[in-house]
Structure 1
Amino acid sequence: MSTHSYAASKHAVVGLAKNLAAELGQHNIRVNCVSPYVVSTNIGQGLADFTPKVEAILNEVGNLKGTVLKASDVASATLFLASDEATYVSGLNLVVDGRYSVVNSSIVVAVRSSLLHA
Structure 2
Amino acid sequence: MVPVRKGVILFTASNASVTSGLSPHAYAASKVAIVGLTRNLCVDLGKHGIRVNCISPSLVATPLATKALNVDRTTAKKLYESFTILKGAVLEEEDVANTALFLASDESRIISGQNIVIDGGYGTTNQAFPVKLQELTSSNQV
Please give the range of the TM-score, normalised by the shorter of the 2 chains.
Answer: 0.7 to 0.9
Relative to structure 1, the CA distance from residue 59 to residue 93 in structure 2 (aligned partners, 3 Å threshold; closer, same or farther) is same
Q: From the CA coordinates, give the structure whose radius of gyration is larger.
A: 2
| Distance in 2 of aligned mates of 1:60 and 1:45 | 16
Q: How many residues align?
A: 107
**In the alignment, structure 1 residue 27 sits paired with structure 2 residue 27:** no
**In the alignment, structure 1 residue 76 sits paired with structure 2 residue 98:** yes
Structure 2 runs not aligned, ≥5 long = 1-21, 132-142
Relative to structure 1, the CA distance from residue 7 to residue 20 in structure 2 (aligned partners, 3 Å threshold; closer, same or farther) is same
**In the alignment, structure 1 residue 11 sits paired with structure 2 residue 32:** yes
- Given candidates 73, 89, 93, the residue that maps to 1:67 is 89
**Correspondence 1:25-104 to 2 at 5 A:** 25-43=46-64, 50-104=72-126
Relative to structure 1, the CA distance from residue 51 to residue 15 in structure 2 (aligned partners, 3 Å threshold; closer, same or farther) is same
Relative to structure 1, the CA distance from residue 31 to residue 100 in structure 2 (aligned partners, 3 Å threshold; closer, same or farther) is same
3-state SS of paired residue (1:31): strand
CA contact under 8 A between 2:54 and 2:116: conserved in structure 1? Answer: yes
User: Of Structure 1 and Structure 2, which has the larger fraction of its residues in strand?
Assistant: 2
RCO higher in 1 or 2 (8 Å CA, sep ≥ 6)? 1
TM-score in terms of structure 1 length: 0.79
